[in-house]
Amino acid sequence: MPILQLAYKSLLNRRLTAVLTLISIALSVTLLLGVEKLRNESRSSFANTISATDLIVGARSGSTQLLLYSVFRIGSATNNISWQSYEELSQHPKVKWSIPISLGDSHRGFRVMGTTTDYFQHYRYSRNKGLGFASGLAFNTLYEAVLGADVAQELGYVSGQQIVIAHGAGDISLVSHDDKPFRVVGILNKTGTPVDRTIHVSLQAIEAIHVDWQGGAKLPGFQINAEQAERMALQPKSITAFMLGLKSRLATFRVLREINEYKQEPLLAIMPGVALQELWDMMGVAEKALLAISAFVVVVGLTGMVTVILTSLNERRREMAILRSVGAKPMHIFGLILGEAITLTLLGSALGLLLLYGLLVFAQPIIESQFGLFIAISWPSTYEWKLLLAVIGSGIVISILPAYRAYRYSLADGMSIRI
């Protein structure tokens, strides 16, 4: 304890350098623990992009491809599913609810998805949260649209505004369905999922805007206006994919096998939780790289501390000599330098932890509202404590070098005059 007290007073005597070193360590610890917390919460949020959905069904392809276009609106399906197959499978005795999905159009870079009002009732995300409306209601008539939060925010749309859907899923489309405009009737709450960047319309609306199209092109010399299409039978002939909720989770594997062996057409059923984990594992390299960068920042911070102590040793030789002359032993000098490093590392780690939680209190509502990512302000996890202890341990280990150099300084070396 006397050595630590002496180390503390020595740091006070060099308070400017000590404070700068302390801030460096604190910021390093804040970055390391902050990245770890963000990594865990992002992974949890990614895994909860879709929740309480037992199966996703699409044309036979790969599980990752099916997940990407049906949930994340990335890419396109290799083929569509016939409406007859959808109806038959959605009426399976083990199925509780179903949500059909039709993709292929866009609006100013945002994907348009045709579905039914069951989507707003049954779709769940982030630990079984349901979709809510920031304004308006779900579509009820043919040419009505519900916007995700990001669509409304980035394009400045409000309820009652008219929009025109473009053919195709590209950011720029030269062909639009301008003869059949839609009216915005609802805007969803922020979810932090691809729902935010999706425009939702009815399946019948998708059929209506393509009623005078064939093979991806408008039929020449044949045009059906919006009022005429509204009076037509707009039963979908095919859809892109559909989601299923089962009456019992125990039936998941059985229904999955039946769909994958479906004889009427080649289909693929996946469990979204398993597919999400596979997709996250594919991105594991970037996740580890981010944590590695944070660890290197901590190393830089601790190295800076050792550099400062080593640099100051030459200036403190006389101080060490005076301490030796009043009875301090070499081990006391070793303990003094080591004590300074330990004090800086402990205080820097504690300050970094406090700074992290202070930033979380301030930034949590902003991150949740802007990105839909909820970061829990909770006691550090076991792994985070291990990271903090690793920082402290590393600080102690690398401070042995300057402590050992001070240990070797002799009384004669400290009292001699260097020319």
Backbone dihedral region for residue 73 (phi beyond 0: left; psi -120 to 50: alpha; all else: beta): left
Both structure tokens of 275: 């597919």
Model pLDDT, residue 66? 93
Model pLDDT, residue 413? 52
Model pLDDT, residue 157? 95
Model pLDDT, residue 341? 81
- Distance CA(142)–CA(229), nearest Å, equals 10
Nearest-CA neighbor of 2 among 414, 311, 331? 331
8 Å CB contact between 24 and 305: yes
Backbone dihedral region for residue 168 (phi beyond 0: left; psi -120 to 50: alpha; all else: beta): left
- Distance CA(157)–CA(178), nearest Å, equals 17
Q: What is the pLDDT along the chain (419 residues), one digit of tens a residue?
A: 566 676 667 777 777 888 888 888 888 888 888 888 887 777 777 777 888 899 999 999 889 899 999 998 888 888 999 999 999 999 999 999 999 999 989 998 899 999 999 999 999 988 788 999 999 999 999 999 999 999 999 999 999 999 999 887 666 555 788 889 999 999 999 888 899 999 999 999 999 998 877 666 676 767 788 888 888 888 899 999 999 999 998 999 999 999 999 999 999 999 998 888 888 777 667 767 777 887 888 888 788 878 877 777 666 767 777 776 667 777 777 777 787 888 888 888 999 999 999 998 888 777 766 665 667 778 888 888 888 888 888 888 888 887 777 767 644 454 454 44
Every domain of the chain and the residues it spans: 2-46+284-415, 55-270
188 Cβ contact partners less than 8 Å away, ≥ 6 residues apart: 131, 132, 133, 134, 146, 147, 148, 149, 195, 196
- Distance CA(417)–CA(125), nearest Å, equals 73
8 Å CB contact between 338 and 396: yes
**Residue the block writes with tokens 């981010």:** 290
**Residue the block writes with tokens 């006070």:** 12
CA 289 to chain CA mean position, Å: 15
Tally DSSP H helices, then E strands, for the chain: 16, 17
Residue type, 190: K
Q: Write b or e for each residue in 111-130: b if 16 or more Cβ atoms lie within 10 A of its Cβ, otherwise e.
A: bbbbbbeebbebbebbeebe
Model pLDDT, residue 374? 65
8 Å CB contact between 46 and 203: no
What is the DSSP secondary-structure string of 244-255? EEES-GGGHHHH
Model pLDDT, residue 418? 47
Nearest-CA neighbor of 31 among 280, 387, 383? 387
CA 42 to chain CA mean position, Å: 3
279 Cβ contact partners less than 8 Å away, ≥ 6 residues apart: 64, 67, 68
Model pLDDT, residue 47? 75
Longest Cα–Cα distance in the chain: 106
